[in-house]
Structure 1
C-alpha cells in the first residue's frame, strides 16, 4: 500500500488518524543514546561511537583496561564495570597517561617476547595521589576484533592476576619490623645458607657470610635471614601489617580487581610465617604490590590506587615517616650495591627489590616455571613514581635481576625523559656488592 498526499488527506478527513497513532508511534521509537566515550587523562580517545558501532581507535593500546562491547553491553574492562555510566551517554576519563601507558606496554612486551614468557603486567603509580598512570598487560589484543582473540588475552592482568610475589615482599616485612622496633638496619643475625624451620628446610641461593645485618639480608635476598627476622613477629601482628599494606583486600581501583590470598593468622605455624616473609604461600596482584610499595615511597601512608579520574583516594598511615625513609635508603643501597647497571638509569637514584618465585603446578612448586617480579620507586630520595611488575613463564633468564629489573629500568628511563627529571649527585654506599635474585 502506497501513501500519497491524497490518501493522507482522506485519512485526515475521515478522522482515522487517532486510531493509527499508537502503531505509528511504536514504529518511530527514539534512536538509542550514543554510548559515552572512554579517554585517557591527556585526552586520547580509547573508545567511542561513530555511527556504525563501538570503535577503539588506539587498537591494542590499553585494550585490557578498556575492554569491549558485545551486541549491546560491555563485556570486559571499563566497558563492563562502567556499563551504566557509558550506556547513559556519559564519558569516563581514566587516570592513565597515554605516553606512559605506551612506554610501559612497550618495555613489558619487548622483554617478555625476548624470553618467550607466557604473560606479564606492570603498573605505574603517582606517589602522592595514587593515580594509576599506566597499567600494562602482555600479551594484548585488538578490541575492534575481540572475537579473534582468546579470553586469556582479554584479561586485565595488572588488576586480576594473582601470584606469589617472591622476594619483593621482603622490604615490606622489614619495614613493619622496623616500625615495631623489632630490628634495626645494622642488627646482625646468624644466617647459614640452610636452616630448618619447623617441618621445612629453608635455603638461600646467593652465597653470603654466616652473619648478616638486616640491611644485608635485603641485599643478599636471604630467605634464611628473613626467617630469623620474623621470629619475634606474632602471626596476628604480621597479618595486621599485610592487611594494612593492602594484601588480601580488594583495592577500590574503579574496575574489577583481585583480592589475593593471605591465610588467617589462626592457621599460621613457623613455616607459614617464614614463607610469608619471603613472598611464598600468599598471593597478590600487581596493582596491590604497587600500592604496598607506594607506602614506602609515600612516607608510610597507604593511598588507594585509582584508575578513574576524579575518584577520591582513601588514605591510612601504615608506617612512621622515618621508617619509610629508612627503608627507602636500604632499598637504594640494595640497587646500588647489587644490580645498579640492570635496574637504574645512569645519573639517577632508584630504590627497589627483585623477586623470583617458583610457580605451584599441580600442588607442587615447579622447577621450570617462575614468576619474575620487581617493585621500586624513583627518585630514591623523594619518590614521584612507584612501579611494580611481573612476568611469568620465561623460558630463559627468568631471575628477577635478569628480567624484571631491566624492565623497571626502561620504564624509569621513560618517566625521567617524559617529565624531564634532573640528574642527581652520586651517593656513597659501603662496598659489599653481589647479585640478588
Structure 2
C-alpha cells in the first residue's frame, strides 16, 4: 500500500504542469488580390486591412465583428473565412484612373454620383468597376451608407439613346433594315398617339447609319413600327436586359416588361432607351456583344470563374455595327470621345430621370457605351453620370469620360495608334 502511494507521489512530481492559458490566435481570413498582384484586403477579421484604402471599396467591401458586411467580403465570406485567397479581375491601375476621371467630372458638373465599368472584350473580365463618390473601408462607419452602394452593379436607370445601337443591331441581324436603307425623318412626328421629337437638326431623309449618327427618335419609330414586339424583346433579353448577372455580389436585374405588355408607343420608346431600365454592368455587357463579334460574355469578377457565353448577333452584323458606331463618333463627336490617332466606336445617351413619379426637367442621366479600338476591340466601357447641374448631355459629359478612360487604357496596355486615318462611308 505504501509502495503504491509512493509511486503516485513520484508521478505527480514528474508530470509537467499544464501550460498557462494564452490569448486565442485570430482566425486566418483569406486575402483579396487584384489581377495585377496588388493586395486589396488582408489580415484576420479583427485586424482586417485595406492597403489601397478607397480604391474599389464598394466592390471589396468591409467586415464587422461577425464577418463580411458589404462587397466581396460579404458575398464570399464563407470562402474567406476558410482562409481561401481570392483574386479579382480588377486592374488597380485602371480602377484608380476610372475613379479619378469620374470624380473630376462630378466636381466639375456638381453631379450627384457616377459609375463606370471597363470590360476586357474577349474574356468578360472586369478591369474596373467604379462607383463614386466612395469611402474608405478602414473607416466605413464614418461614411454615409449611400457611399457603400455599388452603384455600377445595383443602380437601375433608363439608359437613353445608347440603346439605339442595340436596337439597330437587332434589326440588322433580322434583315429588317440595312445600314443604307433610307427613311423619311422629319424633326417631329405623331406616332401612336404621341409626338416624337428630335433634338439634333438633321436632313429630312436619313439612312439607318445616319439615324444613329443624329440620334433620331423619329428615325427609330420608322425602324420599329412594323416589328413584332417579340423580336425586339428576344434580343434585349439576349443582351442581358431584365436578367440577373451572377457575380457573387448583389446586382440589379433592370426592368424589361413582357412583350405582351408592349403597345406601339412602348416599343418605340424602348427602342431609344425609355421605358426600360438597366444597370451599368448590364450596359457594358450588352455593348460588349457588338465588340465581341456578336457573342454575349457573362461579366467575370473572380479570376478562374467559368466562362459563360452565347451568340446574339452574327459576326457580320457585329462588324457592321462597329463600323457604324465608329462613324457616329468620327462624324459627330470625334474630339469629345477619342484621341488623335485612335478610333473608337460608341453611342451617347441622355435620359430624363423620374422624380416622384414624373420625368424631371432638371435631373438627367448621361450615358455612354463604347469600345476601343473600333476595328478589333480590346476593351468595352460603359459610363453613367446622374444629376449633373451643367454639361449633362451624354456628348458633353459621358463621352469625354469615355475618352479619358480609354486614353489611360491605350497608355497602360501600350496600344499603338493606327498609321492610316480611316474614312466612313
User: Are 2:343 and 1:349 equivalent residues in the alignment?
Assistant: yes
Match of 1:207 among 198, 201, 212: 201
Check the 8 A contact 1:254/1:306 in 2, yes or no.
no
Q: Residue in 2 aligned with 1:291?
A: 285
Check the 8 A contact 1:171/1:353 in 2, yes or no.
yes
Provide Cα deviations, 1:126-148, integer angstroms capped at 9, x if missing partner: 11100001111110100000000
Check the 8 A contact 1:255/1:307 in 2, yes or no.
no
RMSD: 2.1
Task: Please give the secondary structure, in 2, of the residue aligned with 1:395.
Answer: coil
Task: Please give the secondary structure, in 1, of the residue aligned with 2:288.
Answer: helix
Q: How many residues align?
A: 417
Trace 1:326-365 onto structure 2 (pairs within 5 A): 326-365=320-359
Check the 8 A contact 2:27/2:44 in 1, yes or no.
no
Pick which of 361-370 and 250-259 moved more. Answer: 250-259
Q: 1:57 to 1:186 in 2, by over 3 A?
A: same
Task: Please give the secondary structure, in 2, of the residue aligned with 1:358.
Answer: strand
Task: Please give the secondary structure, in 2, of the residue aligned with 1:249.
Answer: coil
Q: 1:276 to 1:28 in 2, by over 3 A?
A: same
Match of 2:415 among 389, 412, 421: 421
Provide Cα deviations, 1:236-291, integer angstroms capped at 9, x if missing partner: 11111000000000112232211011011111101110111000110001011100
Provide Cα deviations, 1:342-365, integer angstroms capped at 9, x if missing partner: 000110000000000000011110
Match of 2:304 among 281, 286, 310: 310
CA-CA distance at 1:53 after TM superposition: 1.1
Check the 8 A contact 1:254/1:308 in 2, yes or no.
no
Check the 8 A contact 2:26/2:44 in 1, yes or no.
no
Q: Residue in 2 aligned with 1:300?
A: 294
Q: Residue in 2 aligned with 1:45?
A: 39
Provide Cα deviations, 1:145-168, integer angstroms capped at 9, x if missing partner: 000001110011111111100000
Match of 1:138 among 94, 109, 132: 132
Q: Residue in 2 aligned with 1:229?
A: 223
Trace 1:127-206 onto structure 2 (pairs within 5 A): 127-206=121-200
Q: Counterparts of 1:248 and 1:389 in 2: how far apart (Å)?
A: 19
Check the 8 A contact 1:182/1:232 in 2, yes or no.
no
Unaligned runs of 5+ in 1: 1-8, 431-437
Q: Counterparts of 1:400 and 1:200 in 2: how far apart (Å)?
A: 24
Q: Counterparts of 2:10 and 2:216 in 1: how far apart (Å)?
A: 92
Q: Residue in 1 aligned with 2:54?
A: 60
